[in-house]
């Protein structure tokens, strides 16, 4: 039995295409692996607090040196980190906003990028050599974008700070097995978007 963590980042509700992709993913996965379990983590319609000075003060102290205030500042972060550790497969549904990710997803990443919890320095010193601590995880990035051409060797590749950033930052936490599926052309609508949808739906339905 595997545990899947579904993370939805769009600030849109029913009109969101990235949510449509995560729902399609869930339906397909359930039909193949009915014994698997899902947890939903909402980070688009609910506010994920930005990290602040108290958070930073607490995160960089050893556990034995943390006082009650430091611990309180990290409580929500601890919950999110525990959730990541407890799940086997992460499914992130996210829009591209301004060539990058929604601010809620950035706040989420800031909350879970925790030294000695999800990553550490190999030598114990800041020397650019990092070890990710989330081991044996699989991640699916299901993204939705208005434009297109953001893939490898495509014309807008250099503008893609969305899937490339997510792949990089989760890689730093040890998540190396990542599949990225992107629904493009939402802004164009019509036939061109219909074609993109049908292609991506087929890709998602073939997962598993
Ligand atoms: C604030 C905002 C910024 C956006 N920026 C981009 C962008 O930089 N590149 C792009 O291709 N699409 C952009 N889009 C289009 C969205 O990526 C697209 O509408 C996507 O389907 C939104 O995800 P959702 O349907 O899950 O809400 C933007 C949309 C919004 C609302």
The enclosing domain of 134 has a CATH number of 3.40.50.360
Provide the pLDDT for residue 124: 83
Pocket of ligand 1 from Cβ distances under 6 Å = 10, 12, 16-19, 95-99, 144-147, 186-187
Q: Tell me what the mean pLDDT of segment 114-130 comes to.
A: 90
pTM: 0.97
pLDDT of 62 over the 90 cut: no
Q: Which atom of ligand 1 is nearest to the CA of 183?
A: 21
Q: How far is the CA of 108 from the centre of ligand 1 (A)?
A: 19
75-115 per-position pLDDT tens digit: 999 999 999 999 999 999 999 999 999 999 999 999 999 99
Q: CA-CA distance, 168 to 172, in Å (whole number)?
A: 6
Q: CA-CA distance, 130 to 83, in Å (whole number)?
A: 22
Q: Tell me what the mean pLDDT of segment 137-160 comes to.
A: 98
| CA separation, residue 142 to residues 74, 103, 146, 170, 172 (Å) | 29, 17, 14, 14, 19
Print the domain residue range for 120. Answer: 3-205
Count of structural domains within the chain: 1
Mean pLDDT score of the chain, rounded to an integer? Answer: 97
């Amino acid at each position: 039995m595997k545990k899947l963590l579904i993370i939805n980042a769009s600030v849109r509700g029913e009109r969101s295409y990235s949510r449509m992709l995560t729902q399609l993913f869930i339906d397909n996965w359930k039909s193949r692996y009915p014994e698997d379990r899902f947890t939903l983590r909402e980070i688009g319609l609910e506010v994920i607090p930005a990290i602040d000075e108290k958070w930073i003060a607490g995160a960089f102290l050893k556990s034995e040196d943390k006082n009650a205030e430091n611990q309180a500042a990290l409580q929500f972060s601890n919950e999110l980190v525990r959730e990541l550790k407890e799940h086997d497969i992460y499914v992130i549904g996210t829009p591209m906003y301004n060539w990058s990710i929604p601010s809620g997803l950035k706040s989420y990443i800031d909350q879970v990028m925790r030294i000695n919890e999800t990553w550490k320095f190999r030598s114990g010193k800041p020397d650019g050599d990092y070890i990710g601590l989330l081991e044996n995880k699989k991640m699916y990035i299901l993204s939705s974008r208005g434009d297109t051409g953001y893939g490898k060797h495509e014309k807008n590749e250099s503008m893609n700070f969305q899937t490339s950033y997510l792949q990089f930052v989760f890689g730093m936490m040890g998540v190396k097995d990542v599949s990225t599926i992107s629904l493009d052309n939402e802004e164009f609508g019509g036939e061109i978007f219909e074609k993109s949808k049908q292609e991506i739906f087929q890709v998602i339905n073939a997962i598993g």
